[in-house]
Structure 1
């Protein structure tokens, strides 16, 4: 355990929720996700094997809830082989420090471009409350953007796109929402953990988030700073032809609904995803 680990300086509980908060969904025998208020935390591994990987760590103060899910699925006192982070935004690392303190020596893997945001060196750009969007965009100035520091626990993902502890999976660099954002893909059954490269709810809309209205959409507008890269990342994931996708926000999707939704997003990315105005875009991709 690294004595220099610390939460972000602006960490705080976030007063947002959804009708699926506190519920989980097994999408295959070894892939399960749990909704912490408005964000999904995923677990890869068969419960009976005792070997599993945690993907992302929820909102601030999420650790007790995540530990309860782990105890129920994998057994009391179980800990992962590793933690893999799709990126380091506050709603994906909120419980991480407390979890590491609970478990001790568990490696945390992230893309090398995310490491400065996970070792206390660099803050993310501030969320943009001026961006076109709904209520959750307008109040985004309250969202933390300072870095956490997980010290020596964090390591760069292998450069050959493998994921330690997950032989059948590979990571894919999908920047745009964050410089080192990654998605996870298993080719044998075309299962995708997309993180926030695309999501299945309109995340800036309070009503859509509350009711978890299903829609393939671009990454959260108030925290996305490179829309050209975000579009390229969506194209890259669509080209994989996933059969099932778990995203960072929203309900999992599969089959024809996912295929058509992704294709529509690729073809109409500027109209669907890119805001007409905001700090990080001029509203034009061409």
Structure 2
């Protein structure tokens, strides 16, 4: 099994999973061109979509024009009219020899889903390395719960977020939690990877639990930093998360 992050636009990744027989899955193809270039020999088994934003679904029409019989899996969402198979929380997908479970993870959008299986987590714009997605439609409580659900998956799960945001996320994470040695090590690793022109994803979920402030809202250092930023005590982990997310929205590192 091989996993590739196909660059698209300024910072998107389209994920391409292949097996030894050349069969493939495509996740969140915002642009058709990188996928058509990578799979010139044969169509994929399926296309998986996490949410409706154009930089995740914009290439689907062209891919379906090239490969009319390829199924498109997506959440129940009217803004994804290209779907041929609708998925919901808890659904289990058998795609070739691969098995994935669908996880509802609202927050970035109200109908966002993730796909977990084969040691991989295709999480769209919910979880990034050292960060998380903006709240366009969901509430802080929803996003915090979605992130907690993802954080509870096995630590060796490879996190396949959809954007190369890790360098900027590292700057914010260090502003929140500068005394975290695991975070400092990850930030150094990220700087080296980007200097070499290499992707910072996938990351290991155990690494994210140790470093990502949005997964560590109960950590004393993270809570203290959020309260200093807010200027008052915060009632619970959801309030800490909401403060961190608002802080990150305006952060210029």
TM-score bin (small chain): 0.5 to 0.7
Change (3 A) 1:264 1:90: closer
Q: Which runs of 5+ in 1 are unaligned?
A: 1-28, 120-149, 201-215, 279-286
- Cα pair 1:218 1:265 within 8 Å, conserved: no
Q: Tell me the alpha carbon deviations over residues 174-225 of structure 1, each in whole angstroms, 9 at most, x when there is no partner.
A: 1111122111112x63x2221111223xxxxxxxxxxxxxxx112035x354
State the TM-score, normalized to the length of structure 2. 0.66
Aligned-partner Cα distance in 2 for 1:195–1:69: 20
Deviation at 1:246, TM superposition (A): 1.1
Change (3 A) 1:92 1:260: same
Q: Tell me the alpha carbon deviations over residues 75-124 of structure 1, each in whole angstroms, 9 at most, x when there is no partner.
A: x2x11111110111111011111111111121111112x2x0112xxxxx
Other-structure match for 2:26: 54
- Tell me the C-alpha RMSD between the 2 structures: 2.5
- Report whether the alignment pairs 1:245 with 2:159: yes
Within the candidate set 240, 245, 249, 1:273 is matched to 245
Other-structure match for 1:35: 7
Change (3 A) 1:164 1:178: farther
Deviation at 1:158, TM superposition (A): 6.0
Within the candidate set 200, 209, 220, 1:259 is matched to 209
Q: Which runs of 5+ in 2 are unaligned?
A: 165-199, 218-239
Larger RCO of the pair (alpha carbons < 8 Å, separation 6+): 1
Pairs within 5 Å for 1:69-84? 69-71=38-40, 76=41, 78-84=42-48
DSSP-derived class of the 2:39 partner: helix
Deviation at 1:70, TM superposition (A): 2.2
- Cα pair 1:217 1:272 within 8 Å, conserved: no
- Report whether the alignment pairs 1:218 with 2:171: no
Aligned-partner Cα distance in 2 for 1:255–1:198: 10
Deviation at 1:264, TM superposition (A): 4.9
**Of Structure 1 and Structure 2, which has the larger fraction of its residues in helix?**
2
Pairs within 5 Å for 1:155-234? 155-157=85-87, 160-165=90-95, 167-186=98-117, 189=119, 191-200=120-129, 216-221=130-135, 223-234=136-147
Moved over 4 A (4+): 275-278
Q: Tell me the alpha carbon deviations over residues 239-273 of structure 1, each in whole angstroms, 9 at most, x when there is no partner.
A: 11442211011231126532313465341522332
Pairs within 5 Å for 1:39-118? 39-46=12-19, 48-58=20-30, 62-71=31-40, 76=41, 78-112=42-76, 114=77, 116-118=78-80
Give the structure with higher Rg (CA): 2
Change (3 A) 1:238 1:118: same
Aligned-partner Cα distance in 2 for 1:159–1:192: 14
